[in-house]
């Protein structure tokens, strides 16, 4: 959606399938979604971001949130992807 997504996340942000909170199953699903990325969406929960430092992980999260905002507005205007 926006150029920064590839730079900050490594590509599209995958969705980790739902699994109960605090379970090994959830951890495995998150690891799979993050495989070669810096962010993932946890189904029914929210976004997780990671990088070399807390500050860099926050930058990743901010880019994902900005892209999400653009996506929602584009869909509201009838110009979604």
> Domain tally for the chain?
1
- Mean pLDDT per 10-residue segment, the chain (81 residues): 88 95 96 97 95 97 94 83 57
Gap between the Cα atoms of 20 and 70, Å rounded: 30
- Give the sign of the dihedral formed by CA 66, CA 53, CA 26, CA 39: positive
43: in domain: yes
81: in domain: no
Provide the domain limits for residue 49: 3-76
12: in domain: yes
Task: Quote the pTM value.
Answer: 0.82
Q: Give me the pLDDT at residue 81, please.
A: 57
């Amino acid at each position: 959606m926006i150029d920064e997504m590839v730079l900050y996340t490594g590509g599209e942000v995958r969705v980790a399938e739902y699994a109960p909170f605090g379970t090994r199953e959830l951890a495995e699903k998150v690891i799979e979604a993050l495989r070669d990325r810096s962010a993932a969406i946890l189904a029914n929960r929210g976004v997780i971001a990671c990088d070399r430092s807390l500050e860099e992980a926050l930058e990743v999260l901010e880019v994902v949130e900005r892209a999400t905002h653009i996506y929602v507005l584009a869909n509201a205007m009838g110009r979604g992807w």
